[in-house]
Amino acid sequence: MMFAKQQVETANASWQEFVIEALIRVMGFSTIGFVLLIFLFLLREGLPIFYKVPLSNLFGMQWYPTFDLFGTLPLLLGSALITVTAILIALPLGVATAVFVREVAPDWARELLKPMIEVLAGIPSVVLGFFGMHVVAPLIRETFGAPTGLTVFTGALILAYMALPTIISVAEDALDAVPKSFRDAGLAMGATQWQTIWRVVVPAARSGITTAVMLGMGRAIGETMAVMMVTGNAARIPLSLDSLFKPARTMTATIAAEMGEVAQGSTHYHALFGIAIILFLLTFLINLLAASTIFKKHRRGGLR
Amino acid sequence: MSRYWVQRLGFALLGLTALAVVVPILVVIGIIVFEGMGAISWEFITAMPFDGMKQGGIFPALVGTLLLTLGTALVAIPIGVGGTIYLAEYARDTWVTRSIRLAIINLAGIPSIVYGLFGLGMFVLFLKIGTSILAGALTLAIMTLPVIMITAEEALRAVPTEFRTVSASLGGSRWQGIRYIILPQALPGIITGVILGLLRAAGETAPILFTVAAFFLPRLPQSPFDQTMALPYHLYVISTQVPGMPLRIQYGTALVLLALVLSMNLVATIIRSYFRRKRQW
């Protein structure tokens, strides 16, 4: 009797475990499902634009939805200009800070810096946008004489700081993955620590640093609120030399600013979803490239 | 000896760069605290806004954000932690597992406004939930998943293999080992990940623009199917859409949002450092 009861109990337990494990598996797979769902729904609402409106219009120079002009070129260029400028600011700052934190800083400085960078990662973008509007934009206006101070440069500056936590933490991991023997070898050759850092350690971490920059770029392209609040949102082609200190408009800001006012199912509505498809594919591509360097885990020689 | 001077100069320069990263963060927080303090009062936190939001408080926005965060947690925590357990403890290194990882990395990279459109397309329109807390929480939950999963997996992987082998050698099943040995050990790390994910959700504006947010709604939501105001959206509205808004109220709202998010951040940091010191392996 005892024996039989015990057997029933174990059978029960293993049945429960089977259910739990199946559930956990489903949850693991759900992430793939979510990516597919997101893409599916973007396509569902966004694809119509590609056959409703001729391509020459879609990739034209003018975005005036009220006149049925859906030229995404100014938005694409606006996003590109702001992102590139932001990365040009963030790359040197981020890599230097990562090198400082990982290779040079005394323990107390590291203990102070890392939580501060985490704090930066946690500040909501709308708060940074608000700060940008009220503090940074007036500064830009007075320093560079831009009429409102709401310019590409203002947006890029804020974006650079938003991308920094990503860049710093990924670059730091990359530096961390460089075997200690590399550093020892550099020092043993009579190089100073400074020379070892820039001629041995950083070059060895190059692929990881590239990943860091790409992830930072993905973050910058997708940023919405802060950019919308500080770049002035003029849908013009930013190709002249002084574009940096003129307003521009990004893809993200266009969606955020206009989706609230369009009728569901209208051409304009589909056009905004069409922009979202472009954004999705862009960030997908960037992350795929970044991930391929993560997945390689290719460390050249040396023991960890 | 000159190259040692180069090194000193270089290190000093690196230190200055680090300062250039940190000082603006302190300035942002400092200015918002300094300018916002004046607006903060018991009334500001607990009163309804009135007179075109130029007077009164931010109570409904604050409650809305707390409810949204709670809803996000209810959806994101089980899926996130469950999925992570699968990845860290069960999944073998196959192409399927690699696609899951790729999916996570991609979810982490999708722009927040695209999540907003997805939420609008799927939850609000297709499933006909309407503009509501539920639709917003579901949208935010999917956005939060990768943050939780990436941190939680690190926590699970940090638990030494011996814990698993010892549990198995004592006759424990795989799930028993996870439930009674691995999870308790990894819990602080998982909680940290959850808090970091949720604080991101609490501060997001773009995903809730078209799924939840009400411009002005001076009452508390009665059910998950109601619209609500939310702090980040409220800050956006009063700083860009309402002319003549007193600056004091704008800064006060920014301060409350910042304080909410930073205090969550602080809790996460404390949990992590406390348990890291206590841990015996």
Whether residue B276 is predicted with pLDDT greater than 70 in this model: the reply is yes
**Are B17 and A290 in contact (CB < 8 Å)?**
no
Residue A221 covered by a domain: yes
Q: Are A202 and A248 within one domain?
A: yes
pLDDT tens for A266-275 read 999 999 999 9
Whether residue A121 is predicted with pLDDT greater than 70 in this model: the reply is yes
Q: Provide the residue ranges of all domains of chain B, joining segments of one domain with +.
A: 2-38, 40-278
A136 touches chain B (CB under 8 A): no
Residue B55 main-chain phi, psi, to 5 deg: -135, 170
- DSSP 3-state of B230: coil
pLDDT at A228: 92
Q: How far is B43 from chain A, CA to nearest CA, in Å?
A: 22
pLDDT tens for A161-214 read 999 999 999 999 999 999 999 999 999 998 899 999 999 999 999 988 999 999
Residues 205-264 of B with CB under 8 A from A: 205-206, 209-210, 232-233, 235-236, 239-240, 247, 250, 254, 257-258, 261-262, 264
Residue A67 covered by a domain: no
Q: Domain count of chain A?
A: 2
For chain A, the average pLDDT equals: 87
Q: How far is A37 from chain B, CA to nearest CA, in Å?
A: 9
Q: Are A214 and A143 within one domain?
A: yes
Long-range contacts of A19-27 (CB under 8 A, 24+ apart): A20/B175, A21/B90, A21/B174, A21/B175, A23/B82, A24/B82, A24/B83, A24/B85, A24/B86, A24/B90, A25/B86, A25/B90, A27/B78, A27/B79, A27/B82, A27/B83, A27/B86
Residue A277 covered by a domain: yes
B117 touches chain A (CB under 8 A): yes
Q: Which residues of A82-113 are buried (b: 16+ CB within 10 A; e: fewer)?
A: bbebbbebbbebbbbbbbbbbbbbeeeeeeeb
Residue A185 covered by a domain: yes
Helical residues (DSSP H) of chain A, grouped into ranges? 2-46, 48-52, 55-58, 73-99, 107-122, 125-131, 137-144, 152-176, 180-188, 193-196, 202-204, 206-222, 225-230, 251-258, 267-296
Q: Are A136 and A85 within one domain?
A: yes
Q: Are A34 and A91 within one domain?
A: no
Spell out which residues of chain A touch residue B149, defining contact as CB-CB under 8 Å. 31
Q: Are A87 and A34 within one domain?
A: no
**Are A42 and B112 in contact (CB < 8 Å)?**
no
* Nearest-CB residue to B18 (from A97, A134, A284): A97
Choice among A5-14, A25-34, B59-68 with the minimum mean pLDDT: A5-14
Q: Are A22 and A140 within one domain?
A: no
A127 touches chain B (CB under 8 A): yes
Spell out which residues of chain B touch residue A131, defining contact as CB-CB under 8 Å. 28, 31-32, 254
CATH number for the domain whose boundaries are B40-278:
1.10.3720.10
Whether residue A304 is predicted with pLDDT greater than 50 in this model: the reply is no
Q: How far is B38 from chain A, CA to nearest CA, in Å?
A: 17
Instruction: pLDDT band for B278, please (50, 70, 90 cuts).
Output: confident
Q: Are A37 and A77 within one domain?
A: no
* Nearest-CB residue to A28 (from B83, B108, B206): B83
B175 touches chain A (CB under 8 A): yes
**Are A222 and B110 in contact (CB < 8 Å)?**
yes
- DSSP 3-state of A34: helix
Choice among B58-62, B65-69, B107-111, B243-247 with the minimum mean pLDDT: B243-247
pLDDT tens for B156-184 read 998 998 889 998 899 888 888 899 989 99
**Are A131 and B32 in contact (CB < 8 Å)?**
yes
* Helices B247-278 and B231-240, packing angle to 10 deg: 150
pLDDT tens for B54-79 read 778 899 999 999 999 999 999 999 99
A226 touches chain B (CB under 8 A): no
Q: Are A36 and A129 within one domain?
A: no
Q: Residue A119: which residues within 8 A CB-CB, separation 6 or more?
A: B25, B29, B262, B265
Instruction: pLDDT band for A1, please (50, 70, 90 cuts).
Output: very low
Q: Could you give the CA distance from residue B62 to residue B231 in angstroms, rounded to a whole number?
A: 6
Q: Bigger pLDDT: A236 or A78?
A: A78
The one-letter code for the residue type at A202 is V
Give percent of chain A above pLDDT 70: 91
pLDDT (mean) for B121-150: 94
Structure tokens at B249: 């109220």
Residue A109 covered by a domain: yes
Q: Hey, what's the torsion of the CAs at B45, B48, B49, B55, to 10 degrees?
A: -70
Dmax (CA) of chain B: 74
Q: Residue A93: which residues within 8 A CB-CB, separation 6 or more?
A: A160, A164, B17, B20, B21
Q: Which domain CATH number covers A202?
A: 1.10.3720.10
Residue A65 covered by a domain: no
Q: Are A18 and A150 within one domain?
A: no
Q: Which domain holds residue A176?
A: 72-296
Residues 4-63 of B with CB under 8 A from A: 4, 6-7, 10-11, 13-15, 17-18, 20-22, 24-26, 28-29, 31-32
Nearest residue to A255 (alpha-carbon basis) of A282, A230, A233: A233
Instruction: pLDDT band for A10, please (50, 70, 90 cuts).
Output: low
Count CB atoms within 10 A of the CB of residue B32: 23
**Are B11 and A194 in contact (CB < 8 Å)?**
yes
pLDDT at B1: 60
Q: Are A130 and A203 within one domain?
A: yes
Q: How far is B254 from chain A, CA to nearest CA, in Å?
A: 6
pLDDT (mean) for A104-123: 90
Q: How far is A91 from chain B, CA to nearest CA, in Å?
A: 12
pLDDT at B173: 86
Dmax (CA) of chain A: 91
Spell out which residues of chain B touch residue A224, defining contact as CB-CB under 8 Å. 111-113, 205-206
Structure tokens at A181: 């023997």
Find the closest chain A residue to B16 by CA distance: A97
